[in-house]
Amino acid sequence: MTKKQKTSVKESAFFIKNAFLKPKQVGYLFPSTQALIKTIAQQAQLNKAKYIVELGPGTGGTTRGILAQMQDDTQLVAVEINKDFIDFLAKSITDKRLKLVHDAAQNLKQVIKNQGREATDAGIAAIPA
């Protein structure tokens, strides 16, 4: 990551609230740690991709990590099933390279098609099984 990312108390609290309200959908009680986010972003070699899809961005910890690794002309599409998370992300991350899609991962093929694409260069998924 080029810049140090931080998960705010407000963001963590919102994540934990949703984890209690929708435990099966959210899957974990806490958002990903900064160390995990950094490892994911680096291992995926995102700096080489032009079109990236993230499944289950939650409150955006991983999303910010991906954005920090991406090039300026790369697009990130984040697909999230929880509308409350989508609204939270829309307010908290204002990066033109990010497109938020309120949909289910199961519809990924159609989501990609709707973006005028046929495939992704990289995919990051953190949805529960």
122-125 and 75-80 strand pairing: unpaired
- Residues 9-48 vs ligand SAM: string with x where CB under 6 A? ----------------xxxx--xx----------------
Q: Which is nearer to ligand SAM, 28 or 50 (CB)?
A: 28
Among 57, 64, 77, 89, binds ligand SAM (CB under 6 A): 57
123 binds ligand SAM (CB under 6 A): no
Helices (H) and strands (E) in the chain, counts: 6, 4
The helix, strand and coil proportions of the chain, stated in percent and rounded to the nearest 5, come to 45, 15, 40
80 binds ligand SAM (CB under 6 A): yes
Sort 56 into a burial class: Cβ within 10 Å, 0-12 / 13-18 / 19+: buried
61 binds ligand SAM (CB under 6 A): yes
Rounded to 5°, the CA angle 82-37-23 comes to: 35
Among 5, 62, 69, 75, binds ligand SAM (CB under 6 A): 62
126 binds ligand SAM (CB under 6 A): yes
Contact residues toward ligand SAM (CB under 6 A) are 25-28, 31-32, 55-58, 61-62, 79-82, 85, 104-106, 126-128
